[in-house]
Amino acid sequence: MGLLADLKILYHLTLRPIRGKDHVERMESFYRGQAEAYDAFRKRLLKGREELWQLVGVPEGGVWVDMGGGTGANLENFGDRIERLEKVYVVDLSKSLLEVAARRFKTRGWPNAEAVEADATVWRPPSGAADVVTFSYSLTMIPDWFAAIENAKAMLSPGGVIGVVDFYVSRKHPAEGHARHSWLTRSFWPVWFAADNVYPSADHVPYLHRHFKPIHFQECRGKLPYFPIMRMPYYIFLGEKAVIPHEAGSCSPGPETP
């Protein structure tokens, strides 16, 4: 049963063509056939998600937005602490994955969790504000990833936290203290993943560091199921939306006139 489910997922990951005239259709075309078996396989493929959730913690009475949250499996990392949140939104474009998420919330009895079919580059919570925004292996699937990060920053309250875990490759000349990947790593993984519309980038990490005050940054390698010698690079980033002090204007108010 496990092997059959894995074979089905591997077929979708490697052989089945992805069709669709736009991004929404391509996402649904890719995920429709794997929605039910998604969680078991991705548990072994997508590393670092539990660590990210542990690092973020649960903001008491807060609003958490999980962008590209798929089946909502990451919410299992909250356990009972989910009740401490005012609201959790799992935002995704794939109807099939969101159906799994909505079923999960009902079964688990999480009335404060909601599955939202929307685009991470533009969607905001009804209140307009969030305390935490997470992207777990979704930034690499969002073509306008920079717009998704800007949208997250705009909705975060001052001091709010962004958490990202995803595949990546380093720049040829990365910032000091950051890992430098070999030419082979930098060339191989983007080509390998592009077949599934996943784009490990050398720019996500610098962009996140530029827009948020880093709290935690970790660069790792993970094993790929069924490909024992291969190690995919991934990172975990936790950053804070800095509170920008109000700067007084530099011009003179001038004398009081009628």
Ligand X SMILES: C[S@@+](CC[C@H](N)C(=O)[O-])C[C@H]1O[C@@H](n2cnc3c(N)ncnc32)[C@H](O)[C@@H]1O
Q: Which of 225, 170, 172 is nearest to 200 (CA)?
A: 170
Residue range at the interface with ligand X (CB under 6 A); choices 9-17, 135-143, 237-245, 250-258: 135-143
Q: Residue count at the site for ligand X (CB under 6 A)?
A: 24
Q: Which string of x and - marks every residue 59-88 that binds ligand X (by CB under 6 A)?
A: --------xxxx--xx--------------
Question: Is residue 46 close enough to count as binding ligand X by CB under 6 A?
Answer: yes
Cβ closer to ligand X: 20 or 61? Answer: 20
Question: Is residue 155 close enough to count as binding ligand X by CB under 6 A?
Answer: no
Q: Nearest 5°: phi and psi at 198?
A: -110, 130
Region of residue 253 (left: phi > 0; alpha: psi -120 to 50; beta: else) = alpha
Q: Which of 194, 210, 193 is nearest to 46 (CA)?
A: 193
- Helix, strand and coil in the chain, % to nearest 5: 40, 25, 35
Question: Is residue 138 close enough to count as binding ligand X by CB under 6 A?
Answer: yes
Alpha-carbon distance of 161 to 214, in angstroms, equals 10
Judged by CB under 6 A, the residue of 58, 119, 130, 149 near ligand X is 119
CB of 75 to ligand X, least distance (A): 10
Judged by CB under 6 A, the residue of 137, 189, 199, 234 near ligand X is 137
User: 7-36: which residues touch ligand X (CB under 6 A)?
Assistant: 27, 31
Cβ closer to ligand X: 13 or 179? Answer: 13
Collect contacts of 218-221 with beta carbons under 8 A, ≥24 apart: 218/48, 218/51, 219/170, 219/178, 219/179, 220/47, 220/48
Cα atoms found within 13 Å of the Cα of residue 249, Cβ hemisphere only: 4
Question: Is residue 151 close enough to count as binding ligand X by CB under 6 A?
Answer: no
What residues make contact with ligand X under the rule CB under 6 A?
27, 31, 42, 46, 49, 67-70, 73-74, 91-94, 97, 119-121, 136-138, 141-142
